[in-house]
Structure 1
């Protein structure tokens, strides 16, 4: 079975990496999971202090757009951790690729936050 994964990489503002991680770990990821979003992995990257990643898995492009539109337009997100996270982001980039279920399982195992 193949899945579409979105790899979102963030360039964080200097000095905000740890606070960003705490907000992602304790607020954003639990909220995403409550919306049934498949969070594969997230955390600091190994190469730069100001870099961070979030990997999510979707059935297809339509599911990605539907789930993200619902989540990011919700009052739970807008009135919740949105500002705390967005204020620490300098910029971000998304990459979409198809991978096997085995690849996703490996990413989960090798990149536990």
Structure 2
């Protein structure tokens, strides 16, 4: 199983709205596109005074990760949907993609 952990450093004062848009608009679209969202939300700690958020997603392979990302982020549903509300609040973003055992993905899920 491939796990992607994506972190977002947000522009000042945008954290609550970023997390809301992610939860109410972006994540449902990701899941409808077949992308497995494991968890998402606000960081418990702000670094250097910046609000931060995260998105954890799971894929069967690196190839699936690449294909699903290209299809989703190139789609009209994303570009005409919450894209601007998400992107306009991001100062910077970082992703890591790692291989983990299947049970590790379940460990990240919220109850």
Q: TM-score range by the shorter chain?
A: over 0.9
Compute the TM-score of the two structures, normalised by the length of structure 1.
0.92
For structure 1, the residue ranges without an aligned partner over 5 or more in a row are none
4+ runs deviating over 4 angstroms: none
Once superposed, what is the RMSD of the aligned Cα atoms?
Answer: 1.0
SS at match of 1:10: strand
Tell me the residue number matched to 2:55: 54
Tell me the residue number matched to 1:108: 109
User: Is 2:70 the partner of 1:69?
Assistant: yes
Q: Distance in 2 between matches of 1:76 and 1:89?
A: 20
Tell me the residue number matched to 1:20: 18
Q: Distance in 1 between matches of 2:30 and 2:82?
A: 11
Q: Distance in 1 between matches of 2:60 and 2:86?
A: 26
Tell me the residue number matched to 2:29: 31
SS at match of 2:67: helix
Aligned residues: 108
For structure 2, the residue ranges without an aligned partner over 5 or more in a row are none
User: Is 2:76 the partner of 1:78?
Assistant: no
